[in-house]
Amino acid sequence: MEFELDEEQRMLRRTVRETVAKVRPQPEDRQWETYRSLGWLEAPPLELALILEELGYAADPTPFLATATWFAPLTGRLPEGSGTAVFDGVGRYVLEADRADEVALLTKGGVTVVPGADLGAQRVGILDPHVHVAHVDAQALSAGVPDLALTGLAATAVGACRRVLDLVLAHVKQRTQFGQVLGSFQAVKHKAADMHVAVERARALTHFSALTIAEDDPRRTKAAHMAKAAAGECQRLVFRHGLQLFGAMGFTWENELQLHLKRAQACDLLLGTASAHRKALLTA
């Protein structure tokens, strides 16, 4: 096995990072248009995971995740405009269901695609202001979550966790108490070190999952459960230490930390928490 990004993949990551940083302050539809026009939706699984990590890092508000990792694997194509899919057999908390142009439904009779406008999905308010979820009322739904959908949420969560860690590091290197920067206290250092290890572990398992999908390796479903579970475990630790180390500043609306904490937590709660995927791993 070779487990290092090659030169092209590293370059892609750099480009994505720079582009997202530049585009993120623009209106949401402009961001979406840019990502579409760059062909990122067509990226193969590993490259897609790299892109999603960067979008997760930036608390991306566009329908990218649902289009690339929910709609596309279910239908085998990209939608006209944006897309999402219902594959949990229930139709609750479906990403983008209230505004996607096309929605794929996994039903007992197979996959059917309907225009989003005809679906009448009801958006549900949640704590993360940039995550769109809606309940779908449809008949004869069936369950079958694509591996890529789990990998996609995992990659997004890893990006969000990395952002939290970066914000924490910047904060504890700069804020002084008791005449020292916070980062010189060992209780702070050890929390940061544990966050780093958790991010590295989750990221490795996410890349592995993407790689097994790319190579259609027989371990791909196991790997997807591992990625989703590890990302969930990671966000649990990063949320707790990240908010704690910011002090009251992290408890405010104004500080952007909250956005990334919520994104990470939402990624864990959608399509099954870490615990659910640990259990699923044992029977996959």
Partner 1 sequence: MKLADDPEVEEFRAQFSAFLDARLPTEAEARERSHSSAHVPDWARRWQRTLFEHGWLLPGQPPEYGGRGATLPQQLAHLEELARRRIYHSFNPQGLGIIAASLLTFGTEEQKTRWAVPILRAEITAALGMSEPEAGSDLASLRTRAVLDGDTFTVNGQKIWTSGAHDADVLLTFVRTDPGAPKHKGISALLIPTAAEGVVRRPFGSIAAEDDHDFNEVFLTDVRVPRENLVGPLNAGWRVANGSLGHERTLLWLSYAERLQDLVRDAGDAGAGQEWYATLLMDLTALRLLGHRQLGPNRNAAEISVLKLLGSEAVQSASLHALEAHGADALAHPARTGPYHHMHHEDFVSSWFERYARSFAGTIAGGTSEIQRNIIAERILGLPR
Q: Does 46 bind partner 1 (CB under 8 A)?
A: yes
List binders of partner 1 among 22-41 (CB under 8 A): none
Q: Which residues contact 274 (CB under 8 A, 6 or more apart)?
A: 228, 229, 230, 231, 232, 233, 236, 268
Q: In the 8-state DSSP scheme, what is residue 250? A: G
Amino acid making up residue 110: G
The distance of closest approach from Cβ of residue 253 to partner 1 in the complex, given in angstroms and rounded to an integer, is 27
By CB under 8 A, which span of 72-80, 83-91, 135-143, 168-176 interacts with partner 1? 168-176
The distance of closest approach from Cβ of residue 231 to partner 1 in the complex, given in angstroms and rounded to an integer, is 11
Which residue, 210 or 266, is less far from partner 1 as judged by CB?
Answer: 210
Q: In the 8-state DSSP scheme, what is residue 212? A: H
Backbone φ, ψ for residue 175 (5° rounding):
-80, 135
Burial of 180 (0-12, 13-18, 19+ CB in 10 A): exposed
Rounded CA gap, 277 and 283, in Å? 10
User: Which strands form 122-123's sheet, in the order they lie side by side?
Assistant: 94-95, 133-135, 122-123
Size of the site for partner 1 (CB under 8 A): 43
Q: Does 189 bind partner 1 (CB under 8 A)?
A: yes
**Cross-strand pairs, 104:** 85, 113
What's the start-to-end Cα distance of the chain, in Å? 23
Q: Does 119 bind partner 1 (CB under 8 A)?
A: no
Of 205, 261, 270, 271, the residue at the interface with partner 1 (CB under 8 A) is 205
Of 78, 114, 192, 243, the residue at the interface with partner 1 (CB under 8 A) is 192
By CB under 8 A, which span of 12-20, 90-98, 126-134, 221-229 interacts with partner 1? 221-229
Q: Does 126 bind partner 1 (CB under 8 A)?
A: no
Q: Does 181 bind partner 1 (CB under 8 A)?
A: yes
Binding mask 225-264 for partner 1 (x = CB under 8 A): -x--xx--x-------------------------------
Q: Does 270 bind partner 1 (CB under 8 A)?
A: no
Length of the chain: 284
By CB under 8 A, which span of 1-9, 77-85, 115-123, 139-147 interacts with partner 1? 1-9
Q: Does 43 bind partner 1 (CB under 8 A)?
A: no
Q: In the 8-state DSSP scheme, what is residue 59? A: T
By CB under 8 A, which span of 17-25, 73-81, 211-219, 252-260 interacts with partner 1? 211-219
Per DSSP, the three-state class of 80 is coil
Rounded CA gap, 154 and 125, in Å? 22
Whether 191 and 266 have beta carbons less than 8 Å apart is answered as no
**Contact residues for partner 1 (CB under 8 A)?**
1-6, 9, 46, 169, 172-173, 181, 183-184, 186, 188-190, 192-194, 196-197, 200-201, 204-205, 207-208, 211-212, 215, 217, 223, 226, 229-230, 233, 275, 278-279, 281-282
